[in-house]
Structure 1
Amino acid sequence: RSALDERLMAAQSRAETVEILQRNRVDPRKLTSVLGTLGRARKMRVCAWVYEWAGEKKLLNIIHYNRYIDLLGKSKMIEQALEVFSDMRKNKDVKPDTITYSALISAC
């Protein structure tokens, strides 16, 4: 794990999470890794804060949506996975793909 991952896993609030993300200039490439690491560590609250921040910053792409939906499904957070899918469908720059639907089906 990177130092960034370790700091994020220790974050206790959304504000602290956002500060860490901004201080480390998290870009879409780093975001993919961060979501994966947090999800595997079952740090879903921090993962949600990262997802929200990334959405506000317009950093989310199909890979991020798919990864987050998959992580939510594996954590048995099906309603949240469906909410993220709904958010994805509202984003005119991103279209669900076979990976999206596979993650949703696996979640159920």
Structure 2
Amino acid sequence: GHTDTIVLGILLEGYNYGYGRYKRIIEKSNGLYEIKEATLYSSFRRLEKAGCINSYWGDETQGGRRKYYRISSLGKNEYELNKKDWEFAKKVIDKLI
């Protein structure tokens, strides 16, 4: 789905913890798109199971532990394929509407 592609695109910017990626999605869309946290974490689980991202626990000494995510080479390939599919679909829809 588009959510997974959005998450992969955000992770291309660099690794970060889950809530940091949540805030970045809102920031990058200028507040026009706000993903639900449950949807975001479901996407993380799906993408990790598929081998598109990797996660690891941070070693923070203050506050709660954070789980960090980074995109894998498979994830980069998946992102490019999904982006091409999206661009094609957008082109077709633009012609039809």
Q: TM-score, normalised by structure 2?
A: 0.32
Greater helix content:
1
Higher relative contact order (CA 8 A, sep 6+): 2
Greater strand content:
2
Which is higher, the Rg of structure 1 or of structure 2?
2
